[in-house]
Amino acid sequence: MLNIAYIIGGLVLLALGAEGLVRGSTALALRLGVSALVIGLTVVAFGTGSPELALSVRAAIDGNSGIALGNVVGSNISNIALVLGAAALVKPMKVRSEIVRREVPLMIGVTLILVAMLSDGRMSRVEGIVLVLGAVAYTILSYVAASGGERQSVESEFDEALTPPKRSVLVDVAFVSAGLVALLVGANLLLKGAVAVAAAMGISQVVVGLTVIAIGTSLPELATSITSAIRGEADVAFGNVIGSNVLNILAVLGVAAVIRPFDVQGLRLLDLGMLVGTAVLLLPLLWRGWVLNRWEGAFLVLGYGAYIVSLVH
């Protein structure tokens, strides 16, 4: 029971930490004059992906690479199948942003690169450095693209979603500080509980990362995307998920590999197939008018449910 409490407490702290970090950093960026669109594609994506980063870094330091790998792979699968699927069930979403549309093929490309790196059974430090450099390049390119002429079509939508707060700047700094502390403590608790549960149940750390941890660390994306869908801000929802998936691979797994290279153990071909399949599946679903309908959302959620069943049986 204590280990379950660690897991639940860790997930709660990670969710609260991500929320505080996003609120504080977004407000500070708006005060500095950064455009809402740039913030949506970078700051919010980094912030909602912070639970994955905090947990994977802690796992890498402790030598629990299976959890770090399972966390990233599982989170990317759940972000598309569960998060976007659930958001589409709440309200069908139409993507209008050319920037977001262009990032779908980019996400697929990054996913294929990861699969190629994992094919030899090991993630090296050099590969980790390549991924981290890719994260830097992605962030810069996102800023450049969002600062160009394309931004006009969706800038108003991001402006509505991200408005400057009227509170003191000290409150924003406090949000960021408290968020970082909550992320660190939450990552430690979740990792402690997850490792113990995996050992007690005789299952691999990768499976724990693919299921409980992946779903738990995807909660910020789920909350953000459903809220955006209800508000009719489909581009924000898609931009958040796609940006998070790209950064999960480039930044989260890249940093973990730089800290400690690891062997790929416990990951099935089905897991990699789901990782690639969910990313590729977005293209035919979206190219038909770039709309994600309720039945398509239901298909994604049901498919994710079947995948989880395959993991636990």
Helix residue ranges per DSSP H, 202-289: 205-208, 214-217, 219-230, 234-247, 254-259, 269-287
- Give pLDDT tens digits for 235-263: 778 878 888 899 999 999 999 999 999 98
Tokens read off for 58: 């802690």
User: CA-based Rg of the chain, rounded to a whole angstrom?
Assistant: 18
User: Distance between CA 127 and CA 245 in Å, rounded?
Assistant: 18
User: Distance between CA 19 and CA 220 in Å, rounded?
Assistant: 7
Q: What integer pLDDT is reported at residue 237 of this predicted model?
A: 81
In words, the CATH class of domain 2-312 is mainly alpha
Q: What integer pLDDT is reported at residue 135 of this predicted model?
A: 94
Q: What number of other Cβ atoms are within 10 A of residue 98's Cβ?
A: 15
CA torsion angle for 167, 171, 172, 177 (degrees, to 10)?
-170
What residues of the chain score a pLDDT lower than 50?
A: none
Please give the sequence-ordered ranges of beta strands (E in DSSP) within the chain, or none if there are none.
Answer: 93-94, 122-123, 262-263, 291-292
pTM for the predicted model, two decimal places: 0.85
- Give pLDDT tens digits for 141-164: 877 766 665 555 555 555 555 566
